[in-house]
Amino acid sequence: MALQEFRSNKLRTFLSLLGITFGIFCIISVLATISSMKTAVQDDIKKLGTNTVFIDKWEYRNDNNYPWWRYYKRPTPKFEELKQLKDRVPIIQNASYMTQLQSKVEYGSDMLNGLNYYGVTEDFSKTEHLNVGEGRYLQQSDFDNGTNSIVIGYTIAEKMFGKAELAVGKTVRLENDKPANVIGVLEKQGQNMMDMFGYDDCIIVPYKFMRQMVRDEDGQPKIIVEGKENVSIPALKDELTGAMRTIHKLAPNQEDNYSLNDIESFSKFMDSIFSNINIGGWAIAALSLIVGMFGVANIMFVTVRERTAQIGLKKALGAKKSTIVSEFLLESSFLCIIGGMIGMVAVFILAAILSNVFSFKVFIPLDIIGLAVGICLFVGILAGIIPAVTASRLDPVVAIRSTN
């Protein structure tokens, strides 16, 4: 009877479905996108290393209670501090020093701008877990002698030479027209949410060669430390704190003039951000669903009025109140479920489109699908309960006489 009622009032049914469809589409698309984004960020954070600490003058998490000018006045990490840390902190597995510069690269008449140079020490590929796809990585002799050998990112190799394998052995020009020999190409990293260093578009050079192009103070230097296996981040940070305070000769009453940025804290920080985004997403999407729910309730009131005589006849023949209530609740639930299914199909289509647009895959978890079904049933019952109860309380004689 419910399906027959939908077919006989196609336009009204369509308008009611549209409200629920739009509401479910908004809620599920927002939740799925946020969930996919959170998963992508957490996966990318894990790739950065769960036991890695970045020693810098800057705090990577914004602390509004600490003025930026205090960070600015801090000393930058020094190359000499790298060896001191290795000597003082035995739980360090790998540690590297890094400076950076944004400039260009030229080959013949071709030029690429806005590329990041990274001047690094020996352990950088270990702390950052880098792999070379073509050629080789920098050797110890390159670091010791500061040779002009470089390793470039996959995207640079493709743009400048057509194929990554064609880049190896070529001589390019860097900052100040310094010649450099390409000895390797990094494996393609692909786009990700937390690509801190953009390895597909970078040039890795030995630290001593980098010093010929930029001073350490101007190269945003940082020390990257990776702890040994089974060493927790708090334990590593405690050891580093003691070592850094000693190296900087800080008195017990002086505050730290450096920052220890660990991935685990950053991950928790991102979790809090996504929680707030989730709340905002729910609030926005719920408004659409409420509008759809009122639309269904309005249609159910109209349906009760149209079928008043039928309701009176059913009650005269012995139909119980629960039977009448069930009939209208079933109809409103059907309406919401069908609208929700259409909304879910639209979300799957949107997810496929967004996966090709964003740098991460948008997927719809099973718990969100289950949530959608639950919302449809809840909204259907909530929208139909008042019209259904109203219908069940009609006086049979008065209802049968009704012409509406």
Question: Domain boundaries in the chain?
Answer: 2-44+268-401, 75-257
Burial status of residue 247 (CB atoms within 10 A of its CB: 0-12, 13-18, 19 or more): middle
Of 30, 20, 31, 27, nearest to 341 by C-alpha is: 20
* Cβ-contact 93, 228 below 8 angstroms: yes
Strand bridging mode 202-206 / 110-120: parallel
Contact 127, 52 (CB under 8 A): yes
What's the gap between Cα 319 and its chain centre?
A: 55
Output the six-digit token pair for 25.
């589409």
Q: Is 78 helix (H, G, I), strand (E, B) or coil?
A: coil
Taking only the tens of pLDDT, the chain with its 404 residues reads 666 666 666 776 777 777 778 878 888 888 888 888 877 777 766 666 668 899 999 887 665 666 777 888 899 999 999 999 999 999 999 999 999 999 999 998 889 999 999 999 999 998 888 889 999 999 999 999 999 999 999 999 999 998 888 999 999 999 889 999 999 999 988 666 555 678 889 999 999 999 999 999 899 999 999 999 888 888 999 999 999 999 999 998 999 999 998 876 666 667 777 777 777 777 776 777 777 777 777 777 777 777 777 777 777 778 787 887 887 788 788 878 888 888 888 888 988 888 887 767 888 888 878 877 788 778 778 777 877 777 777 777 776 776 55
Largest CA distance in the chain: 103
Q: Is the pTM of this model over 0.75?
A: no
Q: Give the C-alpha distances (Å, rounded to integers) separating 28 from 35, 83, 279, 346, 360.
A: 10, 52, 13, 10, 17
Distance CA 192, CA 209 (A): 29
Give the whole-angstrom CA distance, residue 263 versus residue 271. Answer: 12
Return d(Cα 23, Cα 287) in angstroms, integer: 8
